[in-house]
Amino acid sequence: MRQNIIAGNWKMNLDFNQATELVKEILDKQKESDVLTIIAPPYTHLKSIKDMLGQTDIRLAAQNCHHQESGAYTGEISVKMLKSVGVDYVILGHSERREFFNEDSLAISYKVSKVLENGLIPIYCCGETLEERNEAQHFHIIEKQIKQGLFQLNELELNDCLIAYEPVWAIGTGETASPDQAQEMHAFIRKTIANEYNEIIANNISILYGGSVKPSNAVELFNCPDIDGGLIGGASLQVDQFIELTQSF
């Protein structure tokens, strides 16, 4: 079911002490809200932060996983391991994983299926580069990423997914897609899903915007009819900004 969501992706930031201090501040300053709040710390902090969150409404996400249940994959983390420490969501296909670790949508599709198989919820990321947008390839790129990464799923499985649209040219650059640009792509993603499945599935899935969202632009972005929240990078490390974003709907 579609809902408003703020998901904080901490990336490779904050040592253990810094991370626990940030969580304490978030818990102290959190306000009553019907917005679903998710935080995605590094792997090493997940269990301790889950214990800190306790019975609060804040949910825990991992930033990646491996597609196999177990085995000789040195340095990797399985979904079963993540589930065992209380993780609820897994971010998959982030542009930095695609760019720096050569992950493609087909490989990510196996991770999506494994996450769902274990009862967790994937946050599937898609997005185009500046070059692809300038060459008017952005719709083609997004359609391809959605089809290759998600269309192996049946209707019930897809209904349990979240999608994050992140224009690569607006991540960590301070640039942001205009509300019109962001809304246009979110609507296109829904249309792509509706064409393959149906309007009900397309209209039920939450789609987040992930491109330098901050309090100064959040209200305008979140007022767009097809934008259901944000996948937040830098602002998720600043407690006051992060709390303000959860109040921006």
Q: Is 140 an active-site residue?
A: no
pLDDT at 165: 97
Average pLDDT score over residue span 52-56 = 94
So where are the chain's domains?
Answer: 5-246
What do you get for the CA distance between the two ends of the chain, in Å? 17
pLDDT in tens, 155-203: 999 999 999 999 988 776 667 789 999 999 999 999 999 999 999 999 9
Q: Is 166 a catalytic residue?
A: yes
Q: pLDDT per residue over 69-104, tens digit each? A: 999 999 999 999 999 999 999 999 999 999 999 999
- Summarised one tens digit per residue, pLDDT across range 108-125 is 999 999 999 999 999 999
Give the CA distances from residue 236 to residues 25, 40, 46, 199, 230, in Å, rounded to whole numbers and listed in that order.
12, 10, 16, 33, 10
Which residue in the block uniquely carries the two structure tokens 């974003």?
Answer: 245
pLDDT attached to residue 172: 66
Q: Considering 128, 166, 186, 244, which one is annotated as catalytic?
A: 166
Instruction: Look up tokens 């998901």; give the residue.
Output: 7
Confidence tier at 8 by pLDDT (50, 70, 90): very high
Of 66, 94, 138, 186, the catalytic one is: 94
For the record, the structure tokens of 136 come out as 């008017």
Mean pLDDT over each residue of the chain, to the nearest integer: 95
Q: What pLDDT was estimated at residue 170?
A: 79
Higher pLDDT: 61 or 211? It is 61
The domain 5-246 having CATH identifier 3.90.1150.200: the answer here is no
Q: Measured in whole angstroms, how far is the alpha carbon of residue 8 from the centre of its chain?
A: 8
Report the pLDDT value the prediction gives residue 234, as an integer from 0 to 100: 93
The token pair at 223 is: 């007022």
